[in-house]
Amino acid sequence: MAMNNSATLRKPISRAEVTNAFLRSVYNWMALGLALTAAVSFALTYTALGNVLFTPQGMYIGIGSCIAELVLVFSLSLGIRKLSAQTATLMFLAYSALNGISLSFILVAYNVGSVVQAFLTTTCMFGVMSLYGLVTKRDLTSMGSLMTMGLIGLIIASVVNIFLGSSMLEFGISVVGVVIFLGLTAYDTQFLREMGETVPQDDATAVRRGAIIGALRLYLDFINIFIMLLRIMGDRR
């Protein structure tokens, strides 16, 4: 009887349960990354620590953090299969913290109300598009390709505007940027749902790697939507 009860208790985990657990892990790591970014940004923007932003050293800190972010995000994205789960996790958290430093150079230009409004709006828009990516039966691959091409164009336009300094072009870039990253949010969410449906249940390292790279993708979507919305609706100090 004891053996029968034990066999009953050890029911195989369904594929749906594995997928849901994977997606929860993705969103939990993304939320932790956003919380870390917010904490660092808040400390540098709204406390005495923010004084460093207005010193000559502040410029070097900003440039250094941007370079380190690029190194981390490319190393994590391209080398995820070779990294241990612990290393991938630490790299993601380090990237989130460094992005908090970079973001503080933007937030310092806006009042608190605008930052809160942009964050809440981003949360709602991101949530809607991510939910759409989870539940839709439509294949979003073509939309993802279109949004990726649009992102390349957006980057080129942003570089050009560094030299032009056009406020109208900056506004247009921000509006188009919101649309692009909302589309990428839906596509990335669907991609991660499909990843969760095939993730190896008995390979904890592969699951963690997938969760971390998934969290990074959604984190980048969220942060970019937030920055674009802040530029559109934010009141500068």
Q: HEC string of 39-98?
A: HHHHHHHHCHHHHHHHCHHHHHHHHHHHHHHHHHHHHHHHHHHHCCHHHHHHHHHHHHHH
pLDDT score of 198: 86
pLDDT score of 49: 63
1 pLDDT tier (thresholds 50, 70, 90): very low
The whole-angstrom separation of Cα 167 and Cα 102 is 21
Tokens of 3: 């053996």
Q: Report CA-CA distances (Å) from 224 to 13, 177, 206.
A: 36, 8, 27
pLDDT per residue as tens digits for the range 102-154: 999 888 889 888 999 999 999 999 999 999 999 999 999 999 899 999 999 99
Q: What is the mean pLDDT of residues 218-226?
A: 96
pLDDT score of 7: 46
Query: For residue 150, what are the contacts with CB-CB under 8 A and spacing of at least 6?
Result: 176, 179, 180, 183
What's the distance, Cα to Cα, between the start and end of the chain in Å? 73
The closest of 80, 75, 117 to 98, measured between CA atoms, is 75
